[in-house]
Amino acid sequence: MDITPEGGARFAENPLENARLCIEIANDSCCDCGDFHLRSVLRRIAVAPDSKIGDMHEFRAMIMLALARQQRSTRPIRVAIVGSTDTGILATLLQSAHAVGGDPMVAQLAVTLIDQCATPLALCKAYAHNCDVELEVVQADIQRFSCAAKFDLVLMHGVLPFFPSAQQHDYMTHIISWLSADATLISSTHLGRDPDRTTHARRTELAIANLQEFADAGLGIDAKTVASLTKRLKDSPHGRENERSVFAGLDDATEFYQSAGLALQSAWVVHHHAADTAKFNRKYKQRCIVMGTRAQT
């Protein structure tokens, strides 16, 4: 299968617009997530979309495989995106759908994005509107979300470590319960040792530098806003984006997903190149991607 993204212009992300909107709503958003989204969106202004997600190629390939299985269906394809940093996963989904089935498959998608923070919901709602795509957004803790109808595809990218460590298994079991009998879940998360505090500091410095460049370019941000957001970023909690690694290795990951009720179809480790890890301040050198269906009981 050719996994080159199609419909690129129509579904292209706009990092500058993401940053502008994020700054605009900053006073009312991101308070519950320790400014994780604000920091991440600002840091990613200068990062190419295909580079900001280290396992993008593999993650897209899995989405395309899952969508290809739905190609003969004429009913809506219900998709849940569990948590989001910005517009990246939604864009990847739309590009993948277009590559598999063109505009008809994109139109077939019925996408729901669930996140407890309003920031990614606003970013994705604006992006979907610009792409002329319907999107339902739900601001809620994942554990409290209850779907009215089962999903055909559930996407999780990097969200698992943000669940309370003592409840991660319960969260995963709850998410798997959203799957219809023949639905697919795709999850990507990091492997290996935990990042140190210098990683958080470097990422914050990059976000602040990009914020200042954004203002210097005359894009409508005054000095008072820059100073306020800079202070927020410096004061924001260390822990939100530096949760402990969930899995030491692939065996730990597969055991976790299977015990939560997922029948695995594939699981593998993606290695970041050393140069990419340094360039984009990635916290981890490896990621684990799994694909599976709800285990039959």
Looking at residue 286, what is its pLDDT? 84
User: Which has more pLDDT, 23 or 136?
Assistant: 136
User: What distance in Å separates the CA atoms of residue 279 and residue 290, rounded to the nearest whole number?
Assistant: 26
Residue 15 near residue 44 (C-beta atoms within 8 A): yes
Looking at residue 281, what is its pLDDT? 44
Residue with tokens 């595809």: 153
Looking at the predicted structure, is the pLDDT value of residue 11 above 60? yes
Looking at residue 206, what is its pLDDT? 87
Residue 270 near residue 54 (C-beta atoms within 8 A): yes
Give the amino acid at 232. R
Looking at residue 91, what is its pLDDT? 95
Of 109, 116, 118, the closest CA to residue 151 belongs to 109
Looking at residue 213, what is its pLDDT? 86
Looking at residue 143, what is its pLDDT? 93
Looking at residue 192, what is its pLDDT? 75
Q: For 248-256, what is the mean pLDDT? A: 92
Q: For 126-131, what is the mean pLDDT? A: 95
Looking at residue 82, what is its pLDDT? 98
Note the pLDDT tens digit of each residue in 32-55.
677 888 888 888 886 545 455 668
Looking at residue 76, what is its pLDDT? 94
Q: Which CATH architecture has domain 15-294?
A: 3-Layer(aba) Sandwich (3.40)
What does the mean pLDDT of the chain come to? 85
Give the amino acid at 179. L
User: What distance in Å separates the CA atoms of residue 64 and residue 66, rounded to the nearest whole number?
Assistant: 5
Distances (CA, A) of 206 to 203, 265, 283: 5, 38, 14
Looking at residue 277, what is its pLDDT? 44
Looking at residue 2, what is its pLDDT? 44
